[in-house]
Amino acid sequence: MAHPALAPSEAKADPPSVKQPETLLVNKKTAADMLQVSEKTLDNFITDFGLPCIRLGRNIRFSVEALRNWISERGTQ
């Protein structure tokens, strides 16, 4: 089962007064959970397969959109 943030965007029935912001960046643990791999495998994906990440000081973040695109590109190879 795919992580909810990786699922294709669909119209959700949120109450009209409450609009949840879309998550743009996730941390390493969340990205690993989304891809259903370990954090070490995620590190290997970054170095060996060019998984895009954003370094903020000593922290690493991943764009949810970039993760979706990377998965799509890998699936067509």
Q: Tell me: the pLDDT tens digits for 26-77?
A: 999 999 999 999 999 999 999 999 999 999 999 999 999 999 999 999 887 6
Contacts of 36 (CB under 8 A, 6+ apart): 3
User: 3-class SS at 3?
Assistant: coil
Using pLDDT thresholds of 50, 70 and 90, give the confidence band for residue 14.
low
Task: Return the pLDDT at 74.
Answer: 85
Task: Return the pLDDT at 75.
Answer: 81
Phi, psi of 54 (to 5 degrees): -120, 125
- Taking alpha carbons only, the member of 56, 53, 55, 77 closest to residue 67 is 53
Using pLDDT thresholds of 50, 70 and 90, give the confidence band for residue 17.
confident
User: What is the model's pTM?
Assistant: 0.70
User: 3-class SS at 59?
Assistant: strand
Task: Return the pLDDT at 1.
Answer: 58
Task: Please state, in angstroms and rounded to a whole number, the distance separating the CA atoms of residues 44 and 22.
Answer: 27
